[in-house]
Structure 1
Amino acid sequence: MTALDPEFRFSSIGEVIERLEPSYPVFCIFPDVLRTRAKAFVEGFPGTVLYAVKCNPHPYVLEALAEGGISHFDTASITEIAKIAELMPEAHSYFNHPVKGRGALDAAAKVYGLKDYVVDHADELDKLISIAGTDITVEVRIATPKGKAVYDLSAKFGATPDDAVDLLKEAKRRGCRTALAFHVGSQCTDPSAFRVAMELSAKVRDRAGVPLEYLDVGGGFPAIYKMNVPPLSDYFDVITRARDELGFDIPLLAEPGRALVADGCSVLTQVHLRKGDDLYINDGIYGCLSEIRDGDLDPPVRAVSLSGSLGGATQPFRIFGPTCDSLDVLKLPFHLPEVIAEGDWIEFGQMGAYSIGMQTGFNGFITDTIVRIDGMHEEFVY
């Protein structure tokens, strides 16, 4: 077994540094944290929890979530569908991308036997039925108002209420089962956004007048980062009250991603050069740290040396990634010890969501050392 063996296990970030002294970035997965998050969501949400695979598709992550009680998955490509089928043959996958290639649809229906598909346009419904037939559930996704979310997904997907009514009626007329779906936007900081979307769904339901198999309330459940976000229990309470008051006597589904995995991973980077208040590290916006720039997210960080965590007075630093271009820079200032120097390490916490799954490999830089760490972040408080 070598240091780069994916089965290499550690008890802490400190042990990773002590044993590997890595000059390359290391993606650290904490299965105990992931299992705990999954269990809390499964027990707290008033319905079925689908993990959004795109958020972090690494097998260690998927396996830990399954051990925490998740057996349903929001998949958006044939690659994700195949991965779930291989790792967890008994799991239930939903093809929840509103726009699907014909080849992917053919494989999803005929090779993997999927029965649940999202659409938001009449042409997509025609394509779906022509390939998958009518023994399926058609989830009609409606666009929701832009609320307090970092990413507005309804700018790209979602039918208007009028079109949603027509799609539901047409899907039912052609012999399909029907359902409704929406997404309030990623990293939504306002629980009432779910109430607004469920009220809109109720209006579409009543106008369409067709039986619904379920209502999929999508994702958007936030991670804390350094933002002032309500606890997940507030979101669950809003959804439960809206379900009861709006008469949704059908199963509810949810597609959390970020809220399940953000806390369960971190990225360990090394400082390769210090120029005054600028630090040059070995991961950046083309790698696992893209969301720090794209979402203006502010994850917790700490500096570590071979002898342990660096302490003392701190100062703001600008951080550059490793690629040979000037765009690879994190916009936020990071407050780190004044004594930090070349050879020290920086751990970026809460990096489980949209990190390793979004890296590009640009310029030959890629984070391909993944380790498992047992325990619940004893060294690093998120």
Structure 2
Amino acid sequence: MKKEVRKKKLYNIEFIRFVFAICIIYFHLLHSYIMPHTKDSSVYQYLSDQVLYSKYIVECFFIMSGYFLYHTIRNHPDWTVGTFVCKKISRLWPSLACSVIIMAAFFGKTFYASFLDLLFLQSSGLATDWKGLNWYVSAFFVAEVFYFLLDKCVNDPNKMKLITCLLVYFGYELNISGTDGEFGRNMIYGVFNMGVARALAGVGLGYLIGQIYESASAKWRARRTVSNTNDIKETVVISCLELVTLIMLIINFFFNQYAYENQFIVVVLFAAFFICQLTGKGVFSRITNNPVAGFAGKYAYSVYVMQEVAFAVMKHTWWKSEDFIYDHVVISLGISVFMAVAIGILTYYLIEKPGAKIMIRLFSPFL
């Protein structure tokens, strides 16, 4: 029996996932949800304008997911498509179902939209509803299953690389050309869904990074034993690169007046930053690559999925205190983000984790 390959956990990536989930919450708060309760405050409007492009943090999630998909496929060559789909549904569906059902039962989400969400069809091109916060989940699910199928069908690694490169290029090209330098979610040309195109491009790029990095790092290690490259030089170069790319990403996401005209730069910058994290040699990755920093990474998915519920709860409770929100900007935003994160963490323990175990048992005859 073949022994399963277990890779060391990348706590720095887990740290990034959790921080990015919080950033997405912050964006959605200022993009629309808290804004009707701010009494047209110029401060909130200024902050909202500044975070305009932080919505494209989603592209980073797609890339990270693609990288881990590649290693999942390599570590489990015996998995069938059915096994992969069952495991992916077990991982994604409990928290998604919790969010959708609560929104439908208590906050007016339509039955049609809720039903399609539960089937991972929102923003898939097969449903007209693509504006909800959880569009990412369906596009992500479609892309992951597609690449798993593609990997099973294409035995030649070079052909796989070629097909994936083409999908990455056209997925990004469709978005950038169709939105004049940004990313979309709507249908284009009556055929292509831009959300799925983003997912196929991002997950595909992450898959390629995993494939190429694994090969390149093996060759680098072999050459390094011969040339005895200086560790200090590696650390300095990688630290500088990760610092520059991180600063440029922060500027683009949170300082709109200095943002880049073509948002494809997010893909380029994050890909470079992500590769730096994989090496584990930069200062940032060394600081964050530990169990304490990466502990909260497991909450990222539920935090992301449950934010719509959190916003709905706050809208019907303390957001009604508009005078307080107007007078205390930092405190109001802090409380809002904290509550959204807390609801996500609670969902992880009450729904996501036990729900995944239950669904694995239900799917066990098919695994």
Report TM bin, short chain.
Answer: under 0.3
TM-score, length of structure 1 as denominator length:
0.26
Higher helix share: 2
TM-score, length of structure 2 as denominator length:
0.26
Higher strand share: 1
